[in-house]
Amino acid sequence: MQSIALVVGTLFGSLINLNHPGNYIHWGFIQMSYSNLLVIILMVIVFFAAILIPFKTHKNKGADR
């Protein structure tokens, strides 16, 4: 039973363990974890990607309508 739990735990356990003390940035009175900063940077990238990636054009489809 324990070996089954070990196999299941290994298969479905997280590959990267983040349950250890985090690192924080201090900018004056601002404190932020590196992981939060990474998520914010990713959100900014997605925001600009959403603006800059062109829409699918409908020229051919819509031309007859």
Partner 1 sequence: MSADKAKTHKLARPFKQDRDIADWHGRYTPYDLAKEGLIALVVVVLLVTGLAVLFGSPDDTPVTVKSWSTANAVDFAATAIAELDGTSGTATYGAPYNTNGTAMSIGPISPQKWLGVHHPINTANDYVLGPLSTVANQPEVQAAVAEYKAASVDQQAAWTAAYEKAVADATFVNGKLVVPAGAYGPVGVIISSLTSMARSGALDGALLSSRQFYGTDYTKPLLFVADGTFLEGLAVNQHLAGDQWGMMNETGSYPGQAWLWLYTLWYQVPAIGNSDNADIQVFAIMIGLTTLLALVPFIPGLRSIPRWTRVYRLIWRNHYREVEGQGGGTSTSGSPPQVMGEVREPVTVSG
44 binds partner 1 (CB under 8 A): no
Distances (CA, A) of 34 to 15, 21, 22, 26, 53: 19, 11, 8, 10, 28
Candidate residues 5, 23, 27, 49; the one interacting with partner 1 per rule CB under 8 A: 23
Tell the smallest beta-carbon distance from residue 35 to partner 1 (Å). 4
Q: What does DSSP say about strands 30-33 and 24-27: parallel, antiparallel, or unpaired?
A: antiparallel
* Residues in touch with partner 1 (CB under 8 A): 12-24, 29-36, 38-40, 43, 51-52, 54-55, 57-59, 61-63, 65
